[in-house]
Structure 1
Amino acid sequence: MFADEWRQWVPAVAVVAVIATMIGLCVHQFAWTSDPQFRAAVVAAGVPLDEFRILSVTIYTVIALVSWVALTVVGRASVQATRRAHALWLLLGASPSTVFLSTLLVLAVVSVCGAVVGALASTLLSFWAVPAFNAEVSPAVNLPGFVIVPWAPVAIIVLSVVTAMVGGLLPARRASRTPPSVALRSPEGSGRRSIVTVFRIVCSVFFLLVAGGLVVAAGFSSQLGSTSPGSMFNLAVDAGGSALIAVYLLCPQIVAFIFWILNGIFSRSGAVVPALGTRAAAARVQASATTIAPLAAGLGGIGLLLCAVNSVVAVTEALQPGTQTDLTDVWTIVAVVAVSMLATSAAVVSLSARGRGREIALLQAAGMQTRQIGTLIASESFAIALAASITAAVPVAVGGIVCVLVSKAALGNSSVVVWPVPAMLLGLVAAWIVIFLILLAPAITPLRDGPGAQLREQGV
């Protein structure tokens, strides 16, 4: 399966490689700062070892959380992409255990390929990145030349593969137990999905209540004595983070509602092709939600972080004019989250785009022109990117409200909040471009050669 359709697995391998590279840089940094040579040089200079570890540990924590989400989403999408093939295996007499093990084997091949590439890339980058990072922390320390700790590359591969495999365990088990008729009739159907949906909704309501409680607490920050910039940052991140978890869990329902609104707007305005594109995204709402959820989490997390940090900087400048701030760690975290979530969504879109060539060929055979097909794909990708941006705006708004309330208590009658509007718009445009290009790729061949070859290949 992997050898015959290796091109379709390339995005998943690329995501695992990107995540493994970021994990690898943190592993190499941790391993090097634990090396006796490094510790001896730091002790001789009289500099605390924690200065070299605290920022790397913070960034590593963010990378670990992002990696867990990204790799588990890719693992789940990889299993879902082959569920119809597994249904055919079951019809031909394969046992559920055979399907389960073969599914994990394909996922293991994808994970190992990406993890090995990531381990090699991070090992090569570490010769530049680790010394540069440590030099920025404390330039006065005469550190020894960087060397690779032997166990680090092995740890990178193991961590990356295990994380991706964990993400595919439940989908693989579900694929092996789903009746073939259900898998072949419905791209996403499962009899137990309603139970999962109810559980997700209950959990999301809980986190929404937590976010609402923290916003209310921000209104009493002066009475609680929590008006310092540090308190404002913590409260904004906690409230926005709770809202972020809630919208992540509610993503299928939010996405379906947004698509319904967009389809109504396009239909009433007479834009038939954009309405058709939005309806195409809505028809694959579960796959679209899997795409949008990590993208919305990334955009929401970046927007929340920028809103909280920039608002804290503004409040600090108002309280103590001339205070210098270093936002290097913030921009590093922003870059990590942006690259990871965009790559994850791109991989999910690519995996869910299987069979799109046949769909495009059918549209051509029905008389749709090339320009109209381009508009269709553009509108579908725009609907996905817009839904992700709207979903991401919820935690940003919650964090911004907290900043308004706390800064008003700290500064008196005035309030300070810095909304990350440019960053959110840039994220919307970047997501739209990437998703459009990925959805366009399967359409290039039928658009160039006509629908005949594609339909003959599919047996139509």
Structure 2
Amino acid sequence: MSRYALRMVADEWRQWSPAIALIAVITTMVGLCVHQFAWTADPAFRAAVATAGVPLAEFQIVSITVYTVVALVGWVGLTVVGRASVQATRRTHALWLLLGAAPATVFGATLLVLAVVSLCGAVLGALASTILAAGAVPAFNAAVSSAVEQPEFTISPWAPAVTVVLGTATALVGGLLPARHACRTSPSAALRNPDEPAPRSARTVLRIAGGLIFLLIAGALVAAAGFADQLGATGPAPMVNLALDAGGSALVGVYLLCPQIVGVVLRALHRTFRAPGLIVPAVGARAAAARVQISATTVAPLAAGLGGIGVLLCAVNSAVALTEALQPGLPTDLADVWTIIAVVAVSMLATSAAVVALSARGREREIALLLAAGMRPRQVTALVASESFAMALAASITAAVPVVVTGLVCGLVARAVLGDRATVAWPVGTMLLGLAGSWLVLLAILLVPASAQLRSQPGARLREQHGA
């Protein structure tokens, strides 16, 4: 069984390559944080910091903050890909069970596939972080404080190994429960159309209940912002804390409710496009709605990333505007904020790209059928573009909920301080840029497998699918 599992990875390496790339990207960021942590603990660096009279905490606090964000975003991204990887191969698992393989054997083979993919990405990420650390770590420390005369940077021998272990283990954790579910699912259920909605389970009910609870918490925090004077939350720091708490709660809520929200949004987009006669966009939105489970898995990291960036920008820029109104000319440094935004943006796009690539398995037959039915390659391309746009738009609409919650909190607190002069820094441009970037990434990933089908004859492709 192990031989067949390894062959499955080798034969379909193109479809696994985005997942490997995601693991490599996130492992690279984790590795840079590991190298930074190891370097700040080095006696030579500590001696240089002590000589300059700069607190060592200045270097450690920022790096720990960035590492926390990287670890959180990386854990979400890698676990999402882990689940998508197992979901993408569930039909193979069903065939193994039908042929008499024991559930424990299928479980081990599933984890082996995920371990190989994770290890490949983690090794690449560890290598990249080790190469980049020589320039990135000293540059980061120089940005924190230029008063320190840094010694020559040296690589800690244990940092690359720790990076590989962290990257591999995180992706494996994401696949444990799906792999267990795959080996216990009946083959007939696994061989059904993966786009069909799954029956509601106790876990789904708990997820929906948890999402509603977090949205209620966000609503309560918005209501509390209306009493900012009584609560004493009338400064920039209290505004940021309250806004991030409310926006973060709403972000968790919409992430948990993403399958339900995405289904509603995609069906609404289908009706919206159909009303004025936009046939291709309507069909694209309908196609995304038909495979709502896969669409939700794709949209969730996009919505979380866009929402997280929007919440952070709205809270921080609104606090900067409040600070400028209270103390004009006070300098502000947002380098760490933009670093976090870059981490989130890269991670969310890579996660969604990997999920889309894995979910594109088996779409060759669908494209061949469309061509055989008389659609032109240009129309199929437009259909794929419409489907990717519908998913990107659904992600942006979902992400707008926590951003609006954050803006309401900032507006209420600012009004308590400034009255009619209160302003909210809505990140409209960033959200539109995120929508465009998400659409282009999803479109590129979906068109890669589609382009080969568009150049081939549909009859030959259908015969190949049937094993002729």
Per the normalisation by structure 2, the TM-score is 0.96
Query: Partner residue of 1:433?
Result: 440
Amino acid at match of 2:61: I
- Match status 1:65 vs 2:61: no
Amino acid at match of 2:237: G
Amino acid at match of 1:254: I
Amino acid at match of 1:287: I
CA shift, 1:273, in A, is 2.4
CA shift, 1:205, in A, is 1.1
Query: Partner residue of 1:267?
Result: 274
The secondary structure found in structure 2 opposite 1:206 is helix
Distance in 2, Cα, partners of 1:46 & 1:262: 59
Distance in 1, Cα, partners of 2:222 & 2:310: 17
Query: Partner residue of 1:279?
Result: 286
Distance in 1, Cα, partners of 2:362 & 2:433: 30
Which 10-residue stretch deviates more, 192-201 or 2-11? 192-201
Q: Paired residues, what number?
A: 460
Query: Partner residue of 1:455?
Result: 462
CA shift, 1:451, in A, is 1.0
Distance in 1, Cα, partners of 2:196 & 2:185: 9
Q: 2:352 aligns with which of 345, 348, 359?
A: 345
Which 10-residue stretch deviates more, 152-161 or 187-196? 187-196
Q: 2:395 aligns with which of 367, 388, 399?
A: 388
Which 10-residue stretch deviates more, 371-380 or 316-325? 371-380
Contact 2:195–2:292 (CA under 8 A) maintained in structure 1: no
Which 10-residue stretch deviates more, 271-280 or 94-103? 271-280
Give a deviation string over 1:124-152, Cα, whole Å, max 9, x none.
00000001111122212122100001110
- Match status 1:201 vs 2:232: no
Contact 2:407–2:426 (CA under 8 A) maintained in structure 1: yes
- Match status 1:51 vs 2:58: yes
Query: Partner residue of 1:84?
Result: 91
Distance in 2, Cα, partners of 1:180 & 1:128: 52
- Match status 1:101 vs 2:102: no
Give a deviation string over 1:169-192, Cα, whole Å, max 9, x none.
000000000000001013166977
Query: Partner residue of 2:251?
Result: 244
CA shift, 1:453, in A, is 2.5
Query: Partner residue of 1:235?
Result: 242
Amino acid at match of 1:98: T
Distance in 2, Cα, partners of 1:193 & 1:107: 27
Amino acid at match of 1:374: T
Q: 1:147 aligns with which of 141, 151, 154?
A: 154
Percent identical residues: 69
Contact 2:197–2:293 (CA under 8 A) maintained in structure 1: no
Distance in 1, Cα, partners of 2:449 & 2:297: 20
Superposed counterparts of 1:18-417, under 5 Å: 18-187=25-194, 193-417=200-424
The secondary structure found in structure 2 opposite 1:185 is coil
Distance in 2, Cα, partners of 1:283 & 1:411: 49
The structure-2 alpha-carbon separation of the partners of 1:151 and 1:193, relative to structure 1 and needing over 3 Å to count, comes to: farther
Contact 1:183–1:189 (CA under 8 A) maintained in structure 2: no
Structure 1 segments (4+ residues) deviating >3 Å: 188-193
Give a deviation string over 1:389-438, Cα, whole Å, max 9, x none.
00000000000000000000111333210100000000000111111111
Contact 1:314–1:416 (CA under 8 A) maintained in structure 2: yes
Distance in 1, Cα, partners of 2:380 & 2:367: 8
Distance in 1, Cα, partners of 2:270 & 2:199: 29
CA shift, 1:457, in A, is 1.2
Contact 1:296–1:391 (CA under 8 A) maintained in structure 2: yes
Distance in 1, Cα, partners of 2:205 & 2:408: 29
Distance in 1, Cα, partners of 2:363 & 2:391: 16
- 5+ residue gaps in structure 1? none
Which 10-residue stretch deviates more, 336-345 or 411-420? 411-420
Distance in 1, Cα, partners of 2:97 & 2:435: 42
